[in-house]
């Protein structure tokens, strides 16, 4: 029976094997204990809280309080953004204050400030509006970037567009020419990264979630009819097999570069469940929605190589310049990842955030990782997230 592997590994999976699973039910593998139940009021599973404690250096009470505060900030952000109107300069979660911060330009009226504060958010005055910064980023997106330029994104706190350059490449002539043109596009600052971003696919290794050809990647989130993952993991029509070599389905849609998303249909004895793997190290996490976590919020990642790791959202809507071409609208985090983690799940509390795209560094020395937001993938392919 194909599920015996999960009894040995002690895992619940995104794509369970067998038959007879009703919607919303989670069968345990033979010999497994069911995952601990939790009330709807609980911010996260015990395993996710444990991973946050490990990676963010928090106590259990601090991790629980932070998740509750982040949920409040996530809920308040759309109302605060509308209240700010044309003066809106961006927003982020401040972990120190435990609240949403909303940036506004100096022309914000007193009534606008009152309306923002009424949502529970604090206010910070900045030089440039979000619209101005987005226009600057859009101008950079039209430029051809050399390989030494890693990425660029809007930094609402600093009210600028940050261009990241790979270590040792700052004095490269092509990089200097790009930076000169970038500074002409609008408010731009430059940072130097220790490494260059790369996608996180890997050669075949036994016992991992799925393969296409000789590439191993990780399942992102279950949707009705399949799962979403990274686009660089496979082309439309490519066949996908599971950990045991059995056929799962095919890539139904895929985009890379420009985007980095894809979806795979599920059949042949496989089906979907609204779960992110804990890999036997932490409890599996149920998925209950896809509300977008703000900059500054905690976030965790599950992947087939490095399993559970947590960190913080650093930036939204970043353009990343991979060697294969630029990918737009990625979210930047300081969560580590390694080859084979591509396509895996990024989750904040019980809210799906996106699928792992690429990064630099590793889980020994640290690094940064980007993900493609899941709501964009759902909208692009008309998919519905499978939730508990």
Helix (H/G/I), strand (E/B), else coil: 374: helix
Task: Give dist(CA 324, CA 257) in Å, integer.
Answer: 7
Q: Is 371 left (phi over 0), alpha (psi -120 to 50) or beta?
A: beta
Residue-wise over 211-247: b if at least 16 C-beta within 10 A, else e? bbeebbbbbbbbbebbbbbbbbbbeeeeebebbeeee
Chain centroid to Cα 268, Å, comes to 29
Q: 87: closest CA among 117, 128, 134, 135?
A: 128
Q: Which two tokens stand for residue 256?
A: 């890379």
Task: Give dist(CA 229, CA 251) in Å, integer.
Answer: 10
Chain centroid to Cα 125, Å, comes to 28
Known catalytic residues are 232, 260, 342
């Amino acid at each position: 029976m194909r599920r015996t592997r999960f009894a040995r590994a002690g895992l619940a999976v995104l794509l369970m094997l067998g038959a007879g699973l009703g919607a919303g039910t989670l069968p345990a593998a033979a010999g497994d204990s069911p995952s601990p139940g939790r009330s709807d009021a609980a911010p996260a599973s015990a395993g996710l809280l444990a991973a946050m404690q490990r990676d963010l250096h928090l106590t259990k009470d601090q991790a629980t309080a932070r998740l509750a505060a982040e949920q409040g900030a996530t809920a308040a952000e759309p109302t605060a953004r509308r209240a700010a109107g044309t003066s809106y300069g961006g927003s982020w979660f401040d972990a120190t204050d435990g609240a949403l911060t909303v940036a506004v330009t100096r022309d914000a009226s007193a009534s606008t400030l009152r309306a923002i504060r009424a949502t529970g958010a604090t206010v910070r005055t900045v030089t440039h509006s979000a619209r101005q910064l987005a226009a600057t980023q859009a101008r950079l997106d039209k430029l051809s970037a050399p390989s030494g330029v890693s990425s660029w994104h809007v930094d609402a706190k600093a009210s600028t567009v940050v261009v990241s350059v790979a270590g040792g490449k700052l004095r490269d002539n092509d990089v200097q020419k790009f930076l000169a043109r970038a500074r002409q596009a609008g408010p731009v600052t430059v940072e130097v990264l220790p490494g260059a971003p790369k996608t996180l696919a890997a050669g075949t290794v036994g016992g991992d979630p799925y393969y296409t050809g000789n590439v191993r990647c990780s399942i992102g989130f279950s949707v009705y009819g399949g799962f979403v993952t990274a686009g660089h993991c496979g082309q439309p029509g490519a066949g996908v097999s599971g950990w045991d070599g059995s056929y799962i389905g095919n890539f139904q849609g895929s985009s890379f570069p420009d985007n980095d998303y894809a979806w795979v249909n599920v059949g042949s004895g496989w089906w979907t469940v609204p779960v992110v793997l804990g890999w036997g190290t932490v409890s599996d996490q149920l998925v209950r929605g896809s509300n977008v976590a703000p900059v500054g919020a905690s976030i965790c990642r599950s992947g087939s190589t490095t399993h559970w790791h947590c960190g913080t959202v650093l930036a939204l809507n970043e353009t990343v310049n991979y060697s294969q071409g630029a990918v737009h609208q990625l979210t930047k985090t300081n969560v580590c990842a390694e080859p084979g983690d591509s396509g895996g799940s990024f989750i904040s509390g019980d809210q799906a955030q996106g699928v792992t795209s690429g990064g630099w560094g590793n889980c020994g020395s640290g690094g940064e990782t980007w993900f493609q937001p899941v709501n964009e993938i759902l909208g692009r392919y008309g998919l519905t997230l499978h939730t508990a």
